[in-house]
Amino acid sequence: MGPRQRQGRSRSKTHALPIILLSFLGFLLIAGVAFGIGMVGNVNRWLSDLPDYTDANAYLVSEPTEIVDCNGNKIASFYTQNRKSITKDEVSPYVLQGTVDVEDERFYEHGGIDLWGIARAAVATLGGGHEGASTITQQLVRNTILQEEQFDSTIERKVREAYIAVKMEDMYSKDEILMMYLNTIYYGHGAYGIEAAAETYLSKSAADLTLSEAALLIGLPNSPSQYDPTVNPDLALSRRNKVLDNMLRLGHITQEEHDAAQAEPITLNVTEISGSGVDIYSQPYFVAYVKQLLEQEFSTDVLFKGGLTVKTTIDPTMQQVAEEAVRSQLDTLSLDGLDMGMVVVDPKTGYIKCMVGGYDYNADENHVNHATAKRPVGSTFKAFTLATAIQNGMNPNVTLNCNSPLTAKGTTTKVQNYANQSYGNITLKQATAYSSNTGYIQVAEAIGNNKIMSLVKKLGIDPAKDNIEDVPVMTLGTGSISPLEMASAYATFANGGHYRQPIAITEIDSRTGSVLYQHTDNPTQVLTEGEAAAVTDVLSGVMQGSGTGAAGALSVNQPYAGKTGTTDNTTNLWFCGYTPQLACALWTGYSAGEIPIQKYGTDLLGDSTNLPVFKKFMNTVLAGTEREEFPTGTAPTYKNNNVWKFYGTNNTKKTESDEDEDKDEEETTTTTTTTTTTTETTGGDTTGGTGTTGGSTGGSTGGSTGGDGGTPTPTPTPDPSPTPTPDPSPTPDDTVG
């Protein structure tokens, strides 16, 4: 009985187990169905407000904006994330295969979610271990379209992520998804994407990574801070070797390749990135200027995340020559705190070819850009008065009494030439060469400040912003203008009277390559070609022989012209000069403010500051360039010289024929304007003389030379009458022209 009863009991237990299991499974099924029915509503709700995953832009990540020079070389990057997206053919095959082997070895088999991977992860979790179940596609969704939810560990987020991952697999190929992932993932040390990681850790392209290097980078995204080779090299080495083990296990590298790669030490070549989100590789002052322009057109998000490509006008060769010329001259002067600003533009396009904002961009934490900063311009402004006079029919051979001092008409302000020197009766052309302040005050009064203001506006200078006041001494350069503005204004004289705004950016492309902006040339005819040529002819006579600008005479076979300027107490030194190919503006002074520029107690002038820089730059960049002439055009129509009444000039008694001539408001004189010489009805050539400098609030050492020049004429004899005693405190004070 015993054995039978034991067998029976045993048999009844055996038959009862399936019934119990079936009952339990039935319960689970019923519960599961009930749960499932309840979950349907939740899932539908979770999926009801998904982002538009069909929009390709939804998967775009933050991309740096890149600034390139005229040759396409990168000079700066603006970013919130250091990243550069690349294509499949721009990355090492080791990276492609190794990433799949480590992150998602069934990547090419599943449809966005890996059920086997989920099961494997569940088993590992039950066993007290940990194994990731997210596919590469899911990780990509999490890092892009669901980025704001990536740290949410709820079932809702996982369902949304899985759903989009499956849909994404229908829209993109596996290779496209893999590259999107590689361009998105964070590799630590501020590097987003495989290209940025390769550049950051190894200073090389992702296409050039060796097996060992690729394995090192592949291992980082799992825990970027823990495996950072710059911080934890031993952990990074161990992680790299595990990656290599996985690649060997899956048969994607040979044993020999595996062993050789593991035998290699980790060798880094780190490129640190800026914590400011701005990396400047060259031309820092120009980059800062370009950034200001971009900020006027684009939001910060677009500028730092939008992946723009900004094509600029800067010429790296010219820029280097300009920087070396400025630094060399400042080193020679060796005056603590003295600095320079320099801009060069192409008169035919308005393109900014080089911009030097100072000796050292990093020397001043405020990064003051002297190329765009506004300072009083001195007698370089006289070129605008000269142009206005010629445009209104004043012949450069008209005679002026340029003795010093002179009380400005209708005021008590006394104006004087530099060192209070008197020049007597000389032509306007000669007055420009000597930069006579007393002469130019009379010219400005004769033609009217309002007309000068009008022309200045057309030359891109805003009198209101540049503090140019409608006062008698305006023509002496009391207003504050930037070298950038001055270079573009003078470029108008070089290009037949056509003004062009200074251009720094030629094109802006989106991250997809579409053109967002493209510069179109839109010049304004401010002067006729003949008027511009007449201005150039006057400005081309003072940089040769004993002229005040002789220190800037060029040795290259090109015509050139220009004007120097010095303000009160020699606190600002200027030179604006040009050839047919390039127009340049130079400023020298102290960043700290209006401090006299002196050495050994003696005032410095343009011949020892700006002119050598201009000369060195032009001689270097134009060497070997075929000679080009300034545009000429038809000579201007001038009024009879007797029409002009200058209050500082003692006019002789008019003859009867002079009275008849006064009735003719305009007549063409015999003056023939060229780029080198002028045949005048009165007065002599301005290239001769003592080269004495001018005086008052903005005078300048003035002028320049063009072509072969003319034959110097004797120095004009000053008026024989005694020189009046200067006012003890003249306003403006004694300055160079």
Active site residues: 103, 379
Residue type, 253: I
Q: DSSP 3-state assignment of 238? A: helix
* CB atoms near residue 511 (< 10 Å): 17
Pull the structure tokens for residue 614. Answer: 């201009």
Residue 494 makes CB contacts below 8 A (sequence gap 6+) with 347, 532, 536, 561, 578, 579, 580, 583, 630
Backbone angles phi, psi at 236, to 5 degrees: -65, -40
Per DSSP, what are the bridge partners of residue 344?
354, 584
Q: Quick check: 690 and 421 in contact, CB under 8 A?
A: no
Question: CA-CA distance, 678 to 670, in Å (whole number)?
Answer: 10
Question: CA-CA distance, 711 to 691, in Å (whole number)?
Answer: 15
Question: CA-CA distance, 384 to 460, in Å (whole number)?
Answer: 12
Question: CA-CA distance, 184 to 180, in Å (whole number)?
Answer: 6
Q: Quick check: 428 and 397 in contact, CB under 8 A?
A: yes
Where is 258: in which H helix or E strand? helix 255-263
What is the strand order of the sheet 191-192 is part of?
82-83, 191-192, 186-188
Residue 6 makes CB contacts below 8 A (sequence gap 6+) with none
Q: b/e for 631-660, b at 16 or more Cβ within 10 A?
A: bbbebbebbbbebbebebbeeeeeeeeeee
Residue type, 342: M
Q: Quick check: 97 and 247 in contact, CB under 8 A?
A: yes
Q: DSSP 3-state assignment of 429? A: helix
Pull the structure tokens for residue 355. Answer: 């911009």
* CB atoms near residue 458 (< 10 Å): 14
DSSP conformational letter for 637:
P
Q: Quick check: 224 and 188 in contact, CB under 8 A?
A: yes
DSSP conformational letter for 132:
-
Q: How many angstroms separate the Cα of 380 from the Cα of each of 295, 348, 414, 429, 495?
A: 32, 21, 20, 15, 18
Question: CA-CA distance, 93 to 99, in Å (whole number)?
Answer: 10
Residue type, 360: D
Question: Strands 191-192, 352-356: parallel, antiparallel or unpaired by DSSP?
Answer: unpaired
Identify the burial level of 689 via C-beta atoms within 10 angstroms of its C-beta, where 0-12 means exposed, 13-18 middle and 19 or more buried: buried
In angstroms, how far apart are the furthest CA atoms of the chain?
A: 165
Question: Strands 524-525, 375-376: parallel, antiparallel or unpaired by DSSP?
Answer: unpaired
Q: Which residue shows structure tokens 């082997």?
A: 101
Residue 81 makes CB contacts below 8 A (sequence gap 6+) with 61, 62, 64, 190, 192, 305
Question: CA-CA distance, 477 to 374, in Å (whole number)?
Answer: 12
